[in-house]
Structure 1
Amino acid sequence: MLYKKKDKAKKQPDAAPASPSSPATSSEDPYDLSKLQDGISTALSQLKDDLAKNRVGGRFNTESIEFLRVKPHKGSKDSVKLGELAQVVPKGGRMVTVLASEEDHVKAIASTIVSSNLSLTPQPDAHNALQLNIPIPPPTKESRDHAIGLAKAAMEKANSSIRDSRGALHKRLQDMQKKKLARPDDVRKAHEHMEKLIEKSHKDVKDLFETARKALERV
């Protein structure tokens, strides 16, 4: 009897096979391209923002002034965005006004704008000590060429970001195939879907750039 009990005890651990739902045997979905899609959407959104900030002529983009860093107090090491110290308002035609929240900040704001690469010269308003008036110079061939160069750099940045997202997904699919977490046929089809998305996204990037380039050339 003792021998039978002992024999039964030895066999018992082998009687419970690993559960099919065990994490060790679960696999990822090779058709899950959500991270790639998110990466593409982020790249396109950033490109649109970059192109919108890169205008010459027409209505001046006030963000180029608002994002300048200002040291509000003389000798201060800390700086803040100009937009936190003043309102920047396009006044129509080729004029922008900057309305400071405090008179003590006006001089620092004016100095920051003059020393920036925007080629702007703020002028104190004769009727309001808190206000600076900034005439916007007309675009030149050099400024157009510079803007187009910046647009091209933004396009290349977007394409690079999309390639990075593709590389991450390609590596994940390769790992899944090596570890046999997905069938080779599913991995192949997932690659095909991936490449179609990448091809479309690069076309979208190019279209956005071409639209911006033509607008810049018309100014």
Structure 2
Amino acid sequence: MSQLAISRVALRYSLHGTSRTSLRLIEAPGRILPALRFTTPQCSSHTARGFSSNPQLQKKAGKANRSHARTDSNPPVNKGVAPTPTDEAYDVSGLESQILKAIEKLTHELSQLRSGGKLNPDIVESLKVQLGTAGHGKETVRLGDIAQVVPRGRVLNVICGEEGHIKPITTAIAASPHSLTPLAPEPSNPLTIQVPLPPPTGESRRAAVESAVKAAERADKLIQQARQEHNKKLRKYDVNREVLPDDIQKAKKLMEDVVKKGHVEVKRISDGAKRVLESQ
């Protein structure tokens, strides 16, 4: 090290005192010289801490050390701890899942009635169509697999994929029990079959509302079945004395609250569907 650099260090050290533990010198651009370390006197009230890169102080952590190490980013986790009967008694996730399935099924069934029951496009797409002839072999396919049904007001437009499918699709629609009369394709749209939808009558409205009521009853029944299964589990814990009576009572109250919310949701959905059907 040059005498000039050492003189600069001595000057800075004398100005700042012994509280500074290390100094870093730059001899030339891009070159960093090792830091100089000074030891503070024993009588100093402040202990200086230095950072060392001495390989003897850096011990490589082995498997045993890593297994016992605890850091904030990787807190210890208790693995393999099974839930207690009390935990399972308060767990209503299975009950909620069954109630959700019942509500989803109700919503799907009611969606089939929103266009007046039998006039829903999904029902038309589910019709069976026979393709081919007796000499070349017949094939039965779903109408929705070979055509697309697009509702436009009180008309269903059945868009065929091939010209050869127009006749068998028309036959399938006319032969369905839904009182539909398909029209021949127009020259401007040779692959589109128009199916006018008859306006709903008082009888069809009543039938649709009755179907909505029955769908709601089925959903309520599914919810009650889910409640019975959960209650049997609680009864088992109570008989075997695996759960304290106080916890059993609290778990039953939680179960009843969940079931009540399910019935309320079923009523809300079905009442809304009935209002829509009655207004058509």
**TM-score (norm. length: structure 2):** 0.63
What's the counterpart of residue 167 of structure 1?
228
Paired with 2:255 and 2:264, the residues of 1 have a C-alpha distance of 14
2:230 and 2:139 map into 1 onto residues whose CA distance is 41
Identity across aligned pairs (percent)? 36
Question: In the alignment, is residue 87 of structure 1 matched against residue 148 of structure 2?
Answer: yes
The correspondence of residues 98-109 of structure 1 with structure 2, limited to 5 A, is 98-109=158-169
- Equivalent residue for 1:201? 262
Deviation at 1:115, TM superposition (A): 2.3
- 2:197 aligned with 1:136: yes
Query: Are 2:171 and 1:111 equivalent residues in the alignment?
Result: yes
C-alpha distance 190-78 of structure 1, shift in aligned 2 (>3 A): farther
| 1:2-34: CA deviation from partner (whole Å, max 9, x where unpaired) | xxxxxxxxxxxxxxxxxxx997x9535201000
Does the residue aligned with 2:150 lie in a helix, a strand or coil?
strand
164-173 or 72-81, which deviates more: 72-81
Deviation for aligned residue 1:68:
2.2
Root-mean-square deviation (CA, aligned residues, Å) is 2.3
Shift of 1:162: 0.7
Q: Within the alignment, does 1:33 sit opposite 2:113 as a pair?
A: no
Q: Return the alpha-carbon distance in structure 1 between the equivalents of residues 100 and 173 of structure 2.
A: 34
- Please give the alpha-carbon distance, in whole angstroms, between the structure 2 residues aligned to 1:33 and 1:189: 12
Q: Do residues 123 (structure 1) and 168 (structure 2) align?
A: no
1:65 to 124, 128, 131: 124
Higher relative contact order (CA 8 A, sep 6+): 1
Encode CA deviations 1:13-66: one digit per residue, 9 max, x unaligned.
xxxxxxxx997x953520100011011111112211211220245xx6321211
Secondary structure, in 3 states, of the residue corresponding to 2:210? helix
Query: Cα 1:74–1:201, aligned 2, differ >3 Å: closer, same or farther?
Result: farther
- Equivalent in the alignment of 1:149: 210
Q: Looking at secondary structure, tell me which structure has more helix per residue.
A: 1
CA distance in 2, matches of 1:49, 1:140: 23
> 1:47 pairs with 106, 124, 137, which one?
106
Q: Which has the larger radius of gyration?
A: 2
Matched, 1:96 2:156: yes
Structure 1 window deviating more from structure 2 (108-117 vs 71-80): it is: 71-80
- For 1:134, the aligned partner's letter is V
Assess, with a 3 A threshold, how the Cα gap between structure 1 residues 50 and 77 changes in structure 2: closer, same or farther: farther
Could you tell me which runs of 5 or more consecutive residues in structure 2 were left unpaired when the two chains were aligned: 1-79
Give the drift of 1:132. 0.9
State the alpha-carbon separation in 2 of the partners of residues 108 and 204 from structure 1. 43
CA distance in 1: counterparts of 2:231 and 2:146, whole angstroms: 47
Distance 1:87 1:190, change over 3 A: same
User: Match for 1:38: what amino acid?
Assistant: S
